[in-house]
Structure 1
Amino acid sequence: MRWIVPWTAVLLCAPVCAQDSSLHYKIQLEAPGEVSDVLQYLNLFQWQKKNRLTPELLAREVSGLPAAATELLATAGYFAPTIESELRQEQNTPVVYLRVTPGPQTLVKHTSVDLQGVINHDPEKLARVNERLGRRGQNLENQPFSQSSWDEYKKRSLQILQNRDFPAASLLSSEASIDPVTAEASYQLVLDSGPAYVFGPYTIHGLSRYPEFLIHDRVKIPAGTPYSRSELLELQTELQNLPQFATALVDVELSGEEPYTAPIRIDVQEVPLHRVNGSVGYSTNTLLKSELAYRYLNLFNRGWVADSRIRLEQREQAFEQSVTLPQSRSDWEHRVWLSYLHQDLQGLDSQLYKTGVSRLKKGDEIERTFDLQYQIENRRFNDGSEERPQTLTLNHIWTQRKLDNRRNPRNGYLAQLEIGGASAYLLSDATFLRLYGRGAYYHRIGQDGQVILQGALGETFTKSPEGITSDWLFRAGGSGSVRGYDYQSLGVKSNGSVIGGQVLATASVEYQHPIVKNWKAALFVDHGGAGEAWHNLETVTGVGVGGRWNSPVGQIGFDLAYGVDLQQIRFHFAMGLVF
């Protein structure tokens, strides 16, 4: 006996009538675990939580349980189950007994796809598509049959054709043959490729505020090239990442007759030219804080982005002005900027003036930055002495983010490497080379737990740190570093102040576990420090507990840490990932 399926199982839907007298009932289910999960979709289980059944409707539902459960189990590949149902009255409470012996689960033993249409006239494309279809079918063979996997197989097989060259491909027929005696299934598909399409010209819709070249420079699909869905999605992603557009949609309009071209239609929704943001808050590193930012998105009618930002905190005050040019066709983005930063931390009063130009390229995982900047710093120490170093530096930053979820990662890693330096012969008071790296590794443990490992390592190679601005030296301590110690309190003691050292090493181990919805508890150990050289580096340890809230804007952390070496307790607050 053989069953020919294509079917889609539909859960039984009994009429739901408003009743004045509902009842509570219990269900005693005897079934293997994987089958029990499937049976939870029966109306009997769904309605138990809603108290919608009367005694009459409950009795009717129980009598139809074998048929309903048989149909439901077939969607998971169980075509020969033994099902017994019984309704009893125990201590004035109805109890439904449902016993299920599922029988053998059907396995997929064979898959085949018959390709029809013009693809058969192109041996190269036919071989490529057959290879991909064959791999997809092999991944299903000897796996349990399920309605969802059958539907997914049809969908993905058709997409293999539609994603490249043949966007008008169609499914002519599909058949899943089930043999309940041998518990085997065979999949057969017949696909029509339709004509092979090439891209046509593109049109732009929705522009009014911004120049068209913002989009022209992003389109790298010449008319006449073979159709590729991935190229459309890549263009759409690039346009969505431009700050001038709230949304972007890229699609094609297929011609139904020769020549088979696919003109590209680009629809964008613009954002306003001006944007002002303000915020107030608190940081355990720099205490009370406020910030005001202004952005203009079409400077000189060139699509240049002008950003102004002022930040006022108790321990830091900063201002920055920058102009960012749109990405070039080579995908590089350029930015010119100037900034001012005033800090009063650990007995060191610093005023740092910067200006520079940056060249940035972002990929799906890797980001690269080349940065040329000039800095002048006024440093005043606790004993009243002052320094005024200057540096002209060239720096390269390489960053990789490989995470399962960027906002709330459970597995993956972040890594950043920097190399930069200056020469005393080029507008600098000292010659130095600075190497720095940091990273974070996320690893899920069991169903709910998670371990996070973080570390940083750096050294500035120079004869003497005198004449080097603070940005190119190292301090540690505080949130995001060694918790249990004040912000940037770990460094070199000089002139009654804590200044940056030439070496840095920090490491952290943290375990997180959920406690309530969107909240996790954390246990952590931090260790490390900064100093003038490796041979006399003094490292310290911090331990503590904390809470993590996965808020709509990212993870927010609260930590209560104990600095073991100084025997002190510090509270830390942090928002977002490490970098």
Structure 2
Amino acid sequence: MIALKQRRLISLVGAVALCLFGPVQAAEDEPLAKLAITGLSAELKAGLEKHLPVNQPACKASKAEVSDYFLSLKSGFRKGARALGYYDAEFTSGGKEVNGCWEITLSVVPGEPVRVISQFIEVKGAGLNEPLFRKALAEPPYKQNDILNHQLYDDYKTLLTESAETLGYLDAVFEQKAVTVDPLAYQASVNLVLNTGPRYTFGEVVIEQNILNDDLITRYIKIKPGTPFSTESVIDQQQIFQRSGYYSKVNVDVNVKNAKNLQIPVYIKLTPAKRNKYKYTAGYGSDTGARVKAELLRRWTGPKGRQVDASAQVAETLSSINLELTEPRENPDYDSLKYLTGLTYDTSNDVESTAFNFGSTYKRKVTDDWVQELYVNVLFDRTQDDGDEPDDSILTLAGGRLSKTKTNNEKSATTGWNVNLQLQGALDGVLSDQSLGQFKGSGKYIFPVGKGRLVNRMEVGYTSAGDLEDLPKSLRFFAGGANSVRGYDFEDIGTTNSSGSVIGGKHLLTASVEYEYPIKDEWSIAGFVDTGDAFNNWDDRDMKYGIGFGGRYRSPIGPVRLDVGFPEGHSGDATFYLSVGPDL
């Protein structure tokens, strides 16, 4: 018995090994027979090749194996030809051994195709006037005398069915669904009649969770009893709770079998996420040097859903401590009020700054997905330019931001754009020691060109204030770096003081054009031209130029970019940049 079990085990292991490694070995030791298909257009050939038999005979297959393959090949192609509208297709097969390997041929005469001469498509019932159905009816599967491709008919039926389910017409049924073919006349007629039946609505909404109070949970609920049912609303509701950050698992159950009087009860079960999230990182950045960072996110402090986000960073040139308290507002998915404070020590390049700030920001989403922020921020700052005395500032800044991003792919866009606008100011004597007004604007536009894409970027800054030396470093403009003018170090472009130190500018203008070309799988190469300057007078700007090239790898977390840039007139002075993250 033991020996028998051992033999069975060996056989099983051998079978598994054959499954895993056999085909590879066979592919290496026994090349497949050559197959040539003639007589077809490229489009028709591509359609029929989907019906090729799975197993193609080997070079040295027997005549019986080749004969069986011909039968299977013709049968599959005959079905495929009919599915594409060619009911009279003729197939002539042949084969011969050449240098010890079969060369198989299949000559196809498609014949005259069956064409659609009429189609009657109707939607009736309570959903007759739904825009989704109106749009489908305006775009029928065929035009007059189109070749009868059965896949188009099946896809259109699926479109109508899915539209009905999406809109809540869950009892929708086809009263007619037929394709009538006259193969002798090469003509076909299509009849589709969908009766939507009544529309279901949402019923009672029951929520199971134990961390937020009823008032806040109610503000998160967008599904209301009595409103029309739609699968899109169910998905949106699930995503709203997932975006909140409070829950690790969101289950929205809408069991149609429990519907009464066309009302579907909704049961939502919310599983809390871990209350605290810790994150520790170490790395290197052109703006910080070597750095270590610790972060804490407390997802909720109590039943009102307030969140705390704390971080501390120690770095060569930019160290900071920040604390934020976020409170959900009327529409918590889009509206929030944030209280923040922070301490920053910046020693990068020729300007050193120590700053403490506190303030609040109200954020909401407005028309057409624009994001609006209104804020008040009190800043205590000491800035010292290299070679000069330190300057202390107190500013109470009030301002607003407006932004929008539109993209076809959040991680690696081939088409998309974003816009970021900011306007802020302070008044001397109103908790401030000087008056100023400042505008910042930036934009990025990506679109396809040939096989690649063109990435365009621009940034503009304008400050109305007294002397540059009186401005805190955080309110000055600098150019240079991976996201500015490549070919120059971070914050290496700006006006200089009497000691020759770069101290920034009151205004900013940068632009970039980059072309990225795919080379293989997730890899691509890029070439770019950047230009920009930070200056105090628009008539005295001195635009610096940088050119270079780089490589791109589309990783699961977004593109990884490695660039090398050269400043204008200094082709031997290269600067390298490494960055990771979404394009927009």
Which TM-score applies when normalising by structure 2?
A: 0.86
CA contact (8 A) 1:504 1:529 kept: yes
Matching residue's letter, 1:333:
S
The offset of 1:466, in angstroms, is 4.7
The offset of 1:367, in angstroms, is 2.1
CA contact (8 A) 1:540 1:565 kept: no
CA contact (8 A) 2:318 2:345 kept: yes
The offset of 1:48, in angstroms, is 4.6
CA contact (8 A) 1:315 1:345 kept: yes
Structure 1 residues 26, 461: closer, same or farther in 2, change over 3 A? same
The offset of 1:160, in angstroms, is 2.9
CA contact (8 A) 1:23 1:55 kept: no
Matched, 1:192 2:200: no
CA distance in structure 2 between the aligned counterparts of 1:406 and 1:55, rounded to whole angstroms: 55
Q: Deviations over 1:80-109 (max 9, x none)?
A: 433322222111111111233434565655
The offset of 1:553, in angstroms, is 1.1
Q: In the alignment, what sits opposite 2:473? A: 470
Matched, 1:75 2:75: no
CA distance in structure 2 between the aligned counterparts of 1:375 and 1:155, rounded to whole angstroms: 60
Matched, 1:84 2:92: yes
Match of 2:514 among 510, 513, 534: 510
Map 1:89-488; keep pairs closer than 5 Å.
89-103=97-111, 110-115=118-123, 119=126, 125-128=127-130, 131-137=134-140, 145-180=148-183, 185-205=188-208, 207-254=209-256, 259-329=261-331, 331-362=334-365, 365-446=369-450, 448-488=451-491
Matched, 1:25 2:33: yes
Structure 1 residues 229, 493: closer, same or farther in 2, change over 3 A? same
The offset of 1:114, in angstroms, is 4.4
Q: Which moved more, 1:260-269 or 1:301-310?
A: 260-269
CA contact (8 A) 2:355 2:380 kept: yes
CA contact (8 A) 2:48 2:80 kept: yes
Q: Which moved more, 1:291-300 or 1:96-105?
A: 96-105
The offset of 1:384, in angstroms, is 4.5
CA contact (8 A) 2:413 2:583 kept: no
**Structure 1: where are the runs of 5+ without partners?**
1-15, 120-124
Matching residue's letter, 1:502:
K
CA distance in structure 1 between the aligned counterparts of 2:410 and 2:218, rounded to whole angstroms: 30
Matching residue's letter, 2:247:
F
The offset of 1:180, in angstroms, is 4.5
CA distance in structure 1 between the aligned counterparts of 2:338 and 2:191, rounded to whole angstroms: 56
The offset of 1:185, in angstroms, is 4.6
Matched, 1:569 2:574: yes
Matching residue's letter, 1:323:
L
Q: Which moved more, 1:309-318 or 1:364-373?
A: 364-373
Structure 1 residues 116, 271: closer, same or farther in 2, change over 3 A? same
CA contact (8 A) 1:23 1:53 kept: no
CA contact (8 A) 1:26 1:95 kept: yes
CA contact (8 A) 1:209 1:273 kept: no
CA distance in structure 2 between the aligned counterparts of 1:185 and 1:47, rounded to whole angstroms: 34
CA contact (8 A) 1:381 1:495 kept: no
Q: In the alignment, what sits opposite 2:502? A: 498
Q: In the alignment, what sits opposite 2:3? A: none
Q: In the alignment, what sits opposite 1:66? A: 74
CA distance in structure 1 between the aligned counterparts of 2:397 and 2:548, rounded to whole angstroms: 38
CA distance in structure 1 between the aligned counterparts of 2:488 and 2:294, rounded to whole angstroms: 29
The offset of 1:506, in angstroms, is 0.9
CA distance in structure 1 between the aligned counterparts of 2:582 and 2:532, rounded to whole angstroms: 20
Matching residue's letter, 1:65:
L
The offset of 1:146, in angstroms, is 3.6
CA contact (8 A) 1:23 1:54 kept: no
The offset of 1:352, in angstroms, is 2.0
The offset of 1:276, in angstroms, is 0.7
Matching residue's letter, 2:396:
L
The offset of 1:110, in angstroms, is 4.5
**Structure 2: where are the runs of 5+ without partners?**
1-18
Matching residue's letter, 2:156:
Y
The offset of 1:408, in angstroms, is 0.6
CA distance in structure 1 between the aligned counterparts of 2:314 and 2:124, rounded to whole angstroms: 68
The offset of 1:239, in angstroms, is 1.4
SS in 1 for 2:357: strand
CA distance in structure 2 between the aligned counterparts of 1:378 and 1:485, rounded to whole angstroms: 27
The offset of 1:565, in angstroms, is 4.5
Q: Which moved more, 1:255-264 or 1:284-293?
A: 255-264
Structure 1 residues 324, 95: closer, same or farther in 2, change over 3 A? same
Q: In the alignment, what sits opposite 1:8? A: none
Structure 1 residues 181, 274: closer, same or farther in 2, change over 3 A? farther
The offset of 1:115, in angstroms, is 4.5
CA distance in structure 1 between the aligned counterparts of 2:59 and 2:392, rounded to whole angstroms: 77
Which TM-score applies when normalising by structure 1?
A: 0.87
CA contact (8 A) 2:251 2:268 kept: yes
CA distance in structure 2 between the aligned counterparts of 1:336 and 1:52, rounded to whole angstroms: 77
CA contact (8 A) 2:564 2:575 kept: yes
SS in 2 for 1:299: coil
Identity among equivalent positions (%) equals 22
SS in 2 for 1:163: helix
Question: C-alpha root-mean-square deviation of aligned residues, in Å?
Answer: 3.0
Matching residue's letter, 1:498:
V
Structure 1 residues 186, 489: closer, same or farther in 2, change over 3 A? farther
The offset of 1:273, in angstroms, is 0.8
CA distance in structure 2 between the aligned counterparts of 1:387 and 1:379, rounded to whole angstroms: 5
CA distance in structure 1 between the aligned counterparts of 2:143 and 2:312, rounded to whole angstroms: 57
Q: Which moved more, 1:308-317 or 1:323-332?
A: 323-332
The offset of 1:179, in angstroms, is 4.6
Match of 2:526 among 522, 526, 533: 522
SS in 1 for 2:468: coil
CA contact (8 A) 2:351 2:473 kept: no
Q: Which moved more, 1:107-116 or 1:264-273?
A: 107-116
Matching residue's letter, 1:379:
T
